[in-house]
Structure 1
Amino acid sequence: MRILTLVLFLWPVILPAQDIEVDVELFLAVDVSRSMNRDELELQRQGYSQALMDADVLAAIKDGPLGRIAVTYVEWAGDQAQRIVVPWQILATTQDAQNIAETIAARKSPAMRRTSISGALAYAMESFEHNGFTGLRRVIDVSGDGPNNQGPPVTQLRDAAVARGFVINGLPLMTVDLLSEFWGIPDLDIYYENCVIGGPGAFVVPVLSWNEFPAAIKRKLILEVSALPPYVRQAQFAVPSPYDCLVGEKMREANRTYFEIP
């Protein structure tokens, strides 16, 4: 009995790994549905890569209380279609930014079917659990070029995320081409404001042309990592009251044959 007691006393105690504290846990949810063509997917990857390496973005990160954030970059489309491009990792230095940017820029994955913002939000919330980090804020950054058309209603997942303390910001891609005219809606920024974003200080940064994309990503990242007052832009369209957050699902139902594509 004494020997067993001695063995137990000398046996190394294995403690659970301690989460790394960061200023922000940032989940970048990037739309790669088939309404995005190959050139747009490449512009999107390059835009994120450039913004993450921007000196002003890195300065905003360093100005935080801890001077570091945790970030992951995940591509999304349908309800069960998500791809991890950059797993959760620290972003604090120029080298960190370069490593992440190179990983994103090197990705040449094809587009995936459907558009499920609700699926992206559900996946994001799960991803934060046991990611190895504890942030002062937890932010889900959603970019997309159309409304939710698969999975649960987006407001259901938005409300669940807000109730759990997440902030959801939006980057509606309102660029115009043949695919966006068919699959998108003209007031996507208003859709995001009413149906997608939520939490303290949540905001929308619309992108009206791909030339604006790198600057919009940069502005959005600086706002998110520094918790500055949200960027506000005057809406282009009158807002229906109440806004129909099921517009994407209704479009898919009305055009069931065609919606086999995105």
Structure 2
Amino acid sequence: MLYSALSRRGLFGAGLALATPALIRPARAMEPVDVELVLAVDVSRSVDSEEQEMQFRGYASAFRDPQLINGISRGAIGAIGITLFTWSDWNIQNTLVPWMRIGDMAEAERVAQAIDAAPRTTWLYTSISGAMAYAGQQFGQAFEGTRQVVDISGDGVNNSGRPVAQARQDLLDAGVIVNGLAVLDRTPQPPAVAAITPPLDEYYRDEVIGGPGSFLMVAEGFESFETAVKRKIVREVAAAPGPLVERAFA
């Protein structure tokens, strides 16, 4: 009986030993890309429904532009990883386009269609720091890029959550480049607000962007957003040198 029990125990142990390797699977390797690009889109209350639609249409149009695909194809790997989320209050960030690969026109069209189909929502405050913190959490999920870039687009200064300087420094310490797309809304502000609010392009230049080769694209009104976002993404993909601040007009 003892032999039988030991034998059964031995067989069980042997079976467990044989089964164990099958249960251990290596961690999935991340797919290499030239750039991991996180697009963070402002949907605070200062962005009305028409302006929000201009933003989404601008991003979708950018990914349908052959010039962008041409720029991607010239990279060492010839592909980028892209994700897009919207942001507002310090605790409101919603991923609308999960990580997707773009290496050709068909893949770029899938991204554009995902943006077309994404829901449009509007919230209240403007937390650039919250957007930065959320953006930093997106890397390392699907791709391994030679560069990691966060792209913040918005039309207002930080008014919710912790200071922008802290959130930006966290990204810079992690080796992430922060670029900006500031949309200059031509609607006059109340005098009391204008007196304490810095010009948005200067604010983004001084407080938001950072890292090697970082830059700010300024859209002169939402009507020029589509032009601005195309130029900005092409430059980000190509890592092309250029001015610290570029301006786009409708």
TM-score, normalised to structure 1, is 0.83
Partner of residue 172 from structure 1, selected from 182, 187, 192: 182
DSSP-derived class of the 1:139 partner: strand
- Partners of 2:135 and 2:236 in 1: how far apart? 16
- The residue aligned with 2:147 is 137
- The residue aligned with 1:18 is 29
Correspondences of 1:126-205 after superposition (within 5 Å): 126-128=137-139, 130-177=140-187, 185=197, 187-205=199-217
Structure 1: 5+ residue stretches without partners:
236-262
- The residue aligned with 1:250 is none
1:108/1:168 CA distance change after superposition, 3 Å = same
Measured against aligned partners, the alpha-carbon deviations of 1:207-228 in whole angstroms (never above 9, x if no partner) come to: 1123321111111101111111
Offset, 1:15: 1.2
Are the equivalent residues in 1 in contact too, given 2:184–2:222 (CA < 8 A)? no
Correspondences of 1:48-197 after superposition (within 5 Å): 48-128=59-139, 130-177=140-187, 185=197, 187-197=199-209
Higher strand share: 2
- The residue aligned with 2:40 is 29
- The residue aligned with 2:13 is 4
1:210 aligns with 2:222: yes
- Partners of 1:29 and 1:180 in 2: how far apart? 27
Structure 2: 5+ residue stretches without partners:
1-9
| Deviation beyond 3 Å, 4+ runs, structure 1 | 1-7, 178-186, 230-235
DSSP-derived class of the 1:95 partner: helix
1:15/1:234 CA distance change after superposition, 3 Å = closer
- Partners of 1:194 and 1:210 in 2: how far apart? 22
DSSP-derived class of the 2:178 partner: strand
Offset, 1:9: 3.8
Offset, 1:181: 8.6
TM-score, normalised to structure 2, is 0.87
Paired residue total? 234
1:178/1:205 CA distance change after superposition, 3 Å = same
Are the equivalent residues in 2 in contact too, given 1:30–1:73 (CA < 8 A)? yes
How much is the aligned-residue C-alpha RMSD, in angstroms?
Answer: 2.2
- Partners of 1:181 and 1:30 in 2: how far apart? 27
- What is the aligned-residue identity percentage? 36
Q: Which amino acid aligns with 1:29?
A: A
- Partners of 1:217 and 1:195 in 2: how far apart? 20
Are the equivalent residues in 2 in contact too, given 1:202–1:230 (CA < 8 A)? no
Are the equivalent residues in 2 in contact too, given 1:35–1:183 (CA < 8 A)? no
Measured against aligned partners, the alpha-carbon deviations of 1:94-125 in whole angstroms (never above 9, x if no partner) come to: 11111111111222422111000000000011
Offset, 1:179: 6.8
DSSP-derived class of the 1:206 partner: strand
- Partners of 2:190 and 2:40 in 1: how far apart? 19
Greater Cα radius of gyration, structure 1 or 2: 2
